Structure 1
Amino acid sequence: MSFFINNEFKKIKSKYELHTPKQLISDAGIKLLQFELDDVTGGFTVTNNRCSTIVINSSWDKNYLNFVILHEYAHIRLHDGASTPFYRHTGTDINIPKMEREANELAMKLLIGMQDKDEIMLLTKYQITDYLGISEKLSEFITS
């Protein structure tokens, strides 16, 4: 994990209690909306005048949406309102893979931080994703 991600995690943890993704974004003053989106879109963030709203796909599994909420929250914290669609529109989409990786790493660190530490520490990366109810593919974003 990068210093950047680890430092941001420490800031969040010192400012907020890590109970649930919905509680975290509520405490951070971020609104949450649920809509039926297309099958491939888990969520996105809209930021206007420093006010952010996370929109999630109401037809997706609740456990996976916990990760999506934290992924979008991570974009707000790490990328100051910049978005993947913005970079695609301007043709500077070289930043997208890095931004997505950073958001995934912070989201995973936050989600694990919301779990019972005694249970989590006994699990492998693949068991953790199963425990969280998310894709095993996301195990690559689990760092120490």
Structure 2
Amino acid sequence: MDDLVQPIIRKLIKKHHTNCPFQLSSALGIHIRYADLGKTTKGLYFRKLRRRFIVINSHLPAEWQRFVCAHELGHDRLHKGISRLFLEEHSYFCPGKLERQANRFAVALLTADLALMHEESMREYYLRAGIPQEMLYFFDT
């Protein structure tokens, strides 16, 4: 998976001169909206009439909104043409796998401009990159 993600991220950063998920989404023509998505949904990505949207839960702290934007951008870049309806009708395609891939994309994007400092733990590195602490459980810390 990382072999797939890294070239995509390098190309995005080289072309748009940023690793900011909000700026990248805007440059790619993805509309960002904020809405009250309840207590369990942090964000979502969808296409409608050839337009692409990222919706972020408006009640999230800024750190989470940034991560969610990067995660949903990962869906746009990695899972083109795969709709939620398709996933639900074809059980061999595991939605959990796609979520893990989008999380890995988000972490790789948000850490793309940072180098691991001498004697810095991975946990400290991820926190310095603005990865929400709750996400550290899913990565080597």
Same fold (TM over 0.5): yes
Map residues 79-118 of structure 1 onto 2, 5 A cutoff: 79-83=79-83, 85-92=84-91, 94-114=93-113, 117=114
Quick one: distance in 2 between partners of 1:36 and 1:93?
Answer: 32
**Structure 2 segments unaligned to the other structure (5+ residues):** none
Residue in 2 that maps onto 1:121: 116
Q: Distance in 2 between the 1:121 and 1:139 partners?
A: 19
Number of residue pairs matched? 138
Name the one with the larger helix percent: 1
Q: Tell me the TM-score normalized by structure 1.
A: 0.81
Instruction: Compute the displacement of 1:24 (Å).
Output: 1.4
2:35 matched residue in structure 1 = 35
Tell me the distance in 1 between the aligned counterparts of 2:131 and 2:104: 17
Distance 1:59 1:141, change over 3 A: same
Counterpart of 1:77 in structure 2 is 77
User: RMSD over aligned Cα, in angstroms?
Assistant: 2.4
> 1:138 aligned to 2:136?
yes
User: Where does structure 1 lack aligned partners over 5 or more consecutive residues?
Assistant: none
* Cα distance per residue 1:105-126 (max 9 Å; x no partner): 1111111125xx3xx5223221
Q: Is the 8 A contact 2:13 2:19 kept in 1?
A: no
For 1:70-93, what per-residue CA distance to the aligned partner results, in whole angstroms no more than 9, with x for missing partners? Answer: 10001001100424x435531426
Residue in 2 aligned with 1:50?
50
| CA distances 1:38-95 after superposition (whole Å, capped 9, x unpaired) | 1111100121243201000000111011010010001001100424x43553142642
Give TM-score scaled by structure 2 length: 0.82
What secondary structure sits across from 1:113 in the alignment?
Answer: coil
Aligned-residue sequence identity (percent) comes to: 28
Structure 2: distance between partners of 1:3 and 1:19:
18
